[in-house]
A and B are shown apart, each in its own frame.
Chain A
Amino acid sequence: MKWRNSKLSNNISSQASIINLKHFSSSVVLNTIATFFTRPGLVRKVALLKKKMASVSKVYILMGCCLPIILFTSWGCTKSSDIKEGNWQLVWEDEFEGEVGLLPDSAKWNFDIGTDWGNQQLEYDTDRPENASLDGNGNLAIVARKESFAGSPFTSARITTKGKFDFTYGRYEARIKMPWGPGIWPAFWLLGSNIDEVSWPQCGEIDVMEYRGNEPHLIHGSVHGPGYSGGNAVTKSFALEQNRFDTDFHIFAVEWGVDYIYFFVDDHLYQVITPEDVDGEWVYDHTFHIILNLAVGGNYVGFPTSDTNFPQTMLVDWVRVYEDRN
């Protein structure tokens, strides 16, 4: 593994006052021993080498600003040697194959049941197939519904691998088609599995992908740790040009190593975070678990309007985790 400069992030304007308190307050604690597995014989190489960094022009949008000032940031001639390249081998995956209506595989996923989660989310997350189940076409459908349930005006789902797959370092990726509309907030993220011992944000949080339904062309990648959590998280946004994330599937990924986290949309690297970039302790050196959820409302996204269509579906084709064998 080679490690060079990562001036990438220096070009990017800092993100203004985004509140991101995906605080983990669930009482669900699973103490089962994590079991790691790989499919025998199935080793995938990710085509990271094909990333044409030099030619990729990306759009970054300065968040938190009233006027939509769009910064066209060309990365210029970034050398491919700036980025560490992994020798990726699949260690965990869920392809969500199965009959329609089946709950996600309980050998891999837990349901977090409850509401709010510290973000003033409006939905009640359930473990019902109406809120999270296979669609029969090889996808997991997490569905936010407008229905009164357990005192909440909406329902949805939040599933985690905590206690079933907790892992350190590697490439974490998922192929997702987004829901849409004001107040809709899907996320694909990693949370430090020691949260019950050291609490948040000391445990660390890596948001591979967050999305606001009222900005359907934008996604956001962030890390939260001690001294840089919530509105002070280290975060970057990635915008599609003349397109949106709710019209088709896109692949959202991080590559996480000892002292770096890279953020990708499809094959575009848009953010590099190293210990130099965080105003605090680098806490990404222990096991994390995966979370998929679809929030309705909350202080990150704002609230749904009468105009927001329900139900809204976050469609996940697959989630895969690779280990670097270099």
Chain B
Amino acid sequence: MNVINTYKISLYSALLLFLSLPFSCSRDIDDLESAEFPTNGVIFIDGFSAGLNYAAFGGSKVTAFQVDNEVVFEGTSSMRFEVPDFEDPAGAYAGGTFFTAVGRDLRAYDVLTFWAKASKAANIDILGFGNDLGANRNQVTISNVAVNTNWEKYYIPIPDPAILTQERGMFFYSEGPEDERGYTFWIDEVQFEKLGTLSQPRPAILESQNQVITAETGDRLTIGGLSMTYNLPNGIDQRTDISPSYFSFISSDQSIATVGSDGIATVLDAGETTITAQVGGIEATGSLKIQSTGAPLLPLTPAPTPTENPDSVISMFSNVYDDVLVDTWNPFWEFSTALVDDVKIEDDDVKRYKQLNFVGILTEAEPIDATQMTHFHIDIWTPDPTDAPASFKVLLVDFGADGNFGGGDDSSHELSFTAPVLSTESWVSLDIPLSDFTGLTNRAQIAQLVLSGDLPNLFVDNVYYYNSGMTTGNGPTAAAPTPTNDPADVISLYSNAYTNVMIDTWSAEWDQAEVADVQIAGDDAKLYTGLVFAGVEFTSQTIDASAMERFHMDIWTPDAINPPAVFRIKIVDFGADGAFGGGDDVEHELTLDDTNTPGLTSGAWVEIDLPLSAFAGLTTTGSLAQLIISGDPNTIYIDNIYFYREDGGGNPTEPETAAPDPVAPASDVISVFSDAYTNIANTNLNPDWGQATIVTEVPIDGNNTLLYTGLNYQGIELGSSQDVSGMSTLHIDFWTANSTSLNVFLISPGPMETPYALTVPTSGWSSVDIPLSEFSGVDLADVFQFKFEGDGNIYLDNIYFQE
């Protein structure tokens, strides 16, 4: 079954609407009386009846229909329909119509009948008549028609034969692949008949529902769900979907709304009327009660055109910007009475809400990341009274990191607006700082905008988030100076020049500030707005700055810096326990003003660069956890926050040179790992002994070096057992900046293993030649494994036995 096929028919029909034949224009009665149309009811018995044409529907497989001379119900031939497979390049479905050039007078018949069977049990999407490749005025269809491998008789009752005075659409069909596979069905003995054994006609509109709708003057309401059900000669009910032409529609009060023969009601005035219908004098079930509120009050002018820079806008609805995906402007939440329409005010698209009590506007499929935005904007217009205490409320909901409703990480905040912000019959532009939504602790996954209040009639336009910092012209135009310190001497919190450590948050829950990621001339920066004090936290991975000497931070503020304006920087260390509290936390806050060097200033980058020693109270720096900024400027751009030391010094974390080249002659050596010798074949450098160590081989100056990262223990399985009883020493080159313990083991089966301690950390490469006598207990004639135990990152090279 394929709903698309039905759609295609509709589309095709719509395209051909313009080709419909003009029926009478101004013929007089005499002409009409003289018109006689053939009354032939036969369509296909053993061939087509006179005057019949066939046309395949657009997009269908045009060869789907053939006359079949072998499979027949009766006589010599039948109609065969070959439904294509899914993705058949020749067409997606089988569909077409049999029609006549000259209409037929079918008033003497009461049903179209035929026999059908199929190559397998299936349900044919659509069969019917009244498709004339024109207006299809009198279309009647049966849907989802079950067929199987036996010939069965089918009936399509004529709802009211009286209107079929010159029908051209004799029979049509449409069927797509079932479960993506095509099949074949046959139809035979197609004819209009007068059976007299169809009974119990039951017309229906609106699927037999008695609906109530609120409307207003000018609305055009299509009465759909039109059907007729007959009881067939076999006692079974057959529903047909039928065109409006079979109905007589009645409006109980024509001054409120009229309804045309096309089933479209037009609302004329305020009041109430009920639309009902009949077919051939039989009352249809279902009705539409229209409650018209009369002519609506509409905005006379469009909302003000937004002027924010498109680069700094995330728009949900505006003709000015590209809009992001909005799931729905009305999810019909329980208890919500809101209705929404798209309307135009002077070519400007506007959302029009009616009966608004509350409505959700959802971006759940693709939540909005407004972390870089500073404001939420919405234009509203209402004809309703806005005198206090009438309110309009805006609720923003963020789904949190999990991106889903619930999960314990959702946050939201609702703001309420009243007069004089609100006013009646004029556009009101709300520019709401996101920092006002104080309960909205996250803004990376904004999934719902909820409007509510006392304004049931509301026009909404230009709904977007924007960043005022970049659009006011009151921000830096040049990036902060690029740092030049050697990365090896830097621990960076935030900079494009360095690899940054992990920061938990740039605006802790307990602070009073909003932070956004912005770009200035291609350089990332943090923008703090509404700054009272901001907490930057890196508690989950504290920073060991004990080797560092200075603290650096670039700031830019548009705010005036007049004495005694100050800017404060506080650094907190969690002490030896690495955790908040515990009696060992230390901190120090420095206060800067325009007298510092460089002095605090407005409208220019200030490169704050302070010795850590200036933070006198910060007596430990091994577990830095918080950076807190505060002061008088409310808007501050920040970049390049890092600790550093003046020059190299200290140990590098990796060797800058390769291990020394071995000098022993190859003939005296059994090598395990070295570029200088032939190594024992098939040695496994990383057997899975359940260790945590990460083993890699890294080239250093072109020399292959074995690296143990995060060593706990690590084995080496020799490609074959070695008799090293004739050897005298084991040679190892090793390098480590951070290991505090390192033992090497030789192992023989048993296992018999004996450790030997290596001195760590090293200062550059260390080379040892360990007498094999140190490995007492190990069977030197049968050494088959090595093991290293310890910690830190270890570089190893030139592991070999030597005579």
Interface positions of A (Cβ within 8 A of B): 180-182, 184, 212-217, 240-244, 246-247, 305, 307, 309
B236 and A214 contact, CB distance less than 8 A: yes
Pair B199/A307 contact, Cβ less than 8 Å: no
- Which one of A182, A241, A242 lies within 8 Å of B235 (CB-CB)? A182
Does B562 sit at the interface, judged by CB under 8 A? no
The answer to whether A181 touches B235, judged by C-beta atoms less than 8 angstroms apart, is yes
The 8 closest A-B pairs by CB, nearest first: A242-B196, A214-B235, A217-B197, A213-B235, A244-B199, A243-B196, A182-B235, A247-B199
Question: A307's contact among B194, B197, B236, by CB below 8 Å, is which?
Answer: B236
Q: Are A309 and B199 in contact (CB under 8 A)?
A: no
Query: By the criterion CB–CB under 8 Å, are A309 and B197 in contact?
Result: no
> How close is B71's CB to chain A, nearest CB, in angstroms?
18
Of A182, A184, A216, A305, which one neighbours B199 at CB under 8 angstroms? Answer: A216
> By the criterion CB–CB under 8 Å, are A242 and B197 in contact?
yes
B234–A242 CB distance below 8 A: no
Beyond known contacts A240-B197, A244-B197, A246-B200: 20 more, CB 8 A cutoff: A180-B200, A181-B231, A181-B235, A181-B237, A184-B235, A212-B235, A213-B235, A214-B234, A215-B233, A215-B235, A216-B197, A216-B231, A217-B233, A242-B195, A242-B197, A243-B197, A244-B199, A246-B199, A247-B199, A307-B237
B228 to chain A, nearest CB (A): 15
Known: A241-B196, A244-B197. A309 touches B235 (CB 8 A): no
User: How many angstroms from the CA of A215 to the CA of B234 in the assembled complex?
Assistant: 5
Digitize B236-249: 1 where CB-to-A-CB distance is under 8 Å, 0 elsewhere.
11000000000000
Contacts of B200 in A (CB 8 A): 180, 246, 309
Among A182, A217, A240, A244, the residue within 8 A (CB) of B236 is: A182
Q: In the complex, what residues of A have CB within 8 A of residue B231's CB? A: 180-181, 216, 246, 309
Checking B196, B197, B233, B236 against A305 with a beta-carbon cut-off of 8 angstroms, the contacting residue is B236
Write out the residue numbers on chain B whose beta carbons fall within 8 Å of the beta carbon of A247. Answer: 199
Chain B 115-167 residues near chain A, CB threshold 8 A: none
Chain A positions within 8 Å of B234 at CB level? 214-215
Q: Measured between C-beta atoms, what is the minimum distance from A304 to chain B in Å? A: 10
In the docked arrangement, what's the CA distance between A241 and B196, Å?
8
Q: Give Cα A214 to B234, complex, Å.
A: 5
Shortest B444–chain A CB gap in Å is 52
Q: List, in ascending order, chain A residues with CB within 8 A of B233's CB.
A: 215-217, 244
With contact pairs A180-B231, A181-B231, A216-B231 given, residues A309 and B196 touching in the complex (Cβ less than 8 Å): no
Whole-angstrom CA separation of A309 from B235 in the bound complex: 10
What are some 6 contacts across the A-B interface (CB < 8 A)? A181-B231, A216-B233, A242-B196, A242-B197, A244-B233, A309-B237
Chain A contacts for B236, CB-based, 8 A = 181-182, 214, 305, 307
Proximity string of chain B (216-240) to chain A, C-beta cutoff 8 Å, 1 when within and 0 when not: 0000000000000001011111000
Q: What CA separation (Å) do A243 and B195 show in the bound complex?
A: 8
In the complex, chain B residues whose CB is within 8 Å of the CB of A213? 235
| Residues of B close to A243: CB separation below 8 A | 196-197
A217 to B199, alpha carbons, bound, how many Å?
A: 10
Report the bound CA distance from A242 to B199 in whole Å.
11
CA distance A309 to B239 in the complex (A): 13
In the complex, A15 Cα to B233 Cα: how many Å?
A: 20
Complex Cα spacing A212 to B200, Å: 16
Docked complex Cα distance between A70 and B194 (Å): 17
C-alpha gap A240/B233 in the complex (Å)? 11
Q: In the bound complex, how far is the Cα of B236 from the Cα of A206, in angstroms?
A: 29
Alpha-carbon distance between A307 and B202 when the two chains are bound, in angstroms: 14
Q: Which residues of A are found within 8 Å of B199, using beta-carbon distances? A: 180, 216, 244, 246-247
Measured in the bound complex, the distance between the Cα atoms of B141 and A238 in whole Å is 33
Closest to B238 in A: A307
Bound-state CA distance A247–B198 (Å) is 10
By the criterion CB–CB under 8 Å, are B235 and A180 in contact?
A: yes
Which chain A residue shows the least CB distance to B150?
A66
When distances are taken between beta carbons in the complex, the residues of chain B under 8 Å from A212 are 235
- The docked-state distance in angstroms from the alpha carbon of A259 to that of B235 is 37
Neighbouring B residues of A307 by C-beta, 8 Å:
236-237
CA distance A14 to B602 in the complex (A): 113
Distance in angstroms between the alpha carbons of A217 and B197 in the assembled complex = 7
Q: Give bound CA distance, A210 to B687, whole Å.
A: 89
Nearest-CB residue, chain B, relative to A302? B235
Q: B residues within 8 A CB of A244?
A: 196-197, 199, 233
Q: CB-CB < 8 A to A181: which residues of B?
A: 231, 235-237
- Determine whether the beta carbon of A216 is less than 8 Å from that of B196: no
Give the nearest-CB partner of B153 in chain A.
A68
* Min CB–CB distance B768 → chain A (angstroms): 90
How many angstroms from the CA of A244 to the CA of B199 in the assembled complex?
8
- Complex interface: chain B residues within 8 A of A214 (CB): 234-236
- Tell me how far the C-beta of B240 lies from the nearest C-beta in chain A, rounded to whole angstroms: 14
CB contacts under 8 Å to A, within B174-221, are 194-197, 199-200
With a cutoff of 8 Å between Cβ atoms, the chain B residues found around residue A309 in the complex are 200, 231, 237
Among A181, A184, A214, A216, which residue has the most Cβ atoms of chain B within 10 A?
A: A216
Contact A216 B237 (CB under 8 A): no
Report the minimum CB–CB distance from A185 to chain B (whole Å).
Answer: 11
In the docked arrangement, what's the CA distance between A285 and B667, Å?
132
B residues within 8 A CB of A180? 199-200, 231, 235
CB distance from B203 to the nearest CB of A (A): 15
Q: How far in angstroms is the closest Cβ of chain B from A59?
A: 11
Nearest CB of chain B from residue A205's CB, rounded to whole Å: 25
CA distance A305 to B197 in the complex (A): 20
Q: By CB atoms of chain A within 10 A, which of B194, B199, B234 has the most?
A: B199
CA distance A33 to B778 in the complex (A): 121
Interface string of B717-745 (1 = CB under 8 A from A): 00000000000000000000000000000
Whose C-beta in chain B lies nearest to the C-beta of A183? Answer: B235
Contact with A along B302-328 (1 / 0, CB 8 A): 000000000000000000000000000
Q: Which residues of B contact A242 (CB under 8 A)?
A: 194-197
Cα A307 to Cα B146 in complex, Å, equals 14
Q: Which positions 278-320 of chain B face chain A at CB distance < 8 Å?
A: none
Interchain nearest-CB distance for B394 vs A (Å): 50
- Shortest CB distance B557–A (Å): 75
Contacts of A216 in B (CB 8 A): 197, 199, 231, 233, 235
Inter-chain CA distance A309–B229, complex, in Å, is 11
Compute how far the CA of A217 lies from the CA of B196 in the bound complex, rounded to whole angstroms: 9
Residues of A within 8 A of B195 (CB): 242
Closest to B195 in A: A242
Closest A residue to B237 using CB positions: A307
Chain B residues whose CB sits within 8 angstroms of the CB of A305 once the complex forms: 236
Q: How far is the CA of A94 from the CA of B234 in the complex (A)?
A: 33
A181 to B200, CA, bound (A): 10
Which chain A residue has the least Cβ–Cβ distance from B200? Answer: A180
